[in-house]
Amino acid sequence: MQTKKYDLEDRLVDFTCRMIDVVEALPNTRAGNYIAGQLVRSCHSPTFNYGEVQAAESRNDFIHKMGIVLKELKECRTALKVIMKKIMIKPAGKLDGIYKETEELIAIVAKSIDTAFKNKENK
């Protein structure tokens, strides 16, 4: 059995691609277009900002940039909640997988920030 490698950058790229599918599935209404515009920006941001994280110049810079990644992931989660509550994409359960992935990415990034902060204090 092959062991799956979990690379955060790859997961974020996959997340962005999946979120683009969500954006494209939103209805062509005023609300749908507004959320699509906002979501297309916020779903790209974690991935692109993680690229900057990998070139952080200090632990403080790493923590700051990961904080931006976390903030944008939380914005995506909130948008998904609105989309799901308003059933803007049917069937309603269609977004369960991307919502779960958003929660997992938030947990990973938050833990990474916490670990970096603790390591900073211990130095």
What are the chain's domains?
8-116 (1.20.1440.60)
Model pLDDT, residue 43: 94
Task: Please give the single-letter amino acid code of residue 87.
Answer: I
Which of 99, 98, 92, 86 shows the shortest CA–CA distance to 29? 86
Q: pLDDT tens across 68-81, in order?
A: 999 999 999 999 99
**How many CA atoms within 13 Å lie on the side-chain side of 107?**
6
Q: pLDDT tens across 88-117, in order?
A: 999 989 999 999 999 999 999 999 999 999
Model pLDDT, residue 19: 97
Which of 40, 50, 34 shows the shortest CA–CA distance to 17? 40
pLDDT for residue 1 is more than 60: no
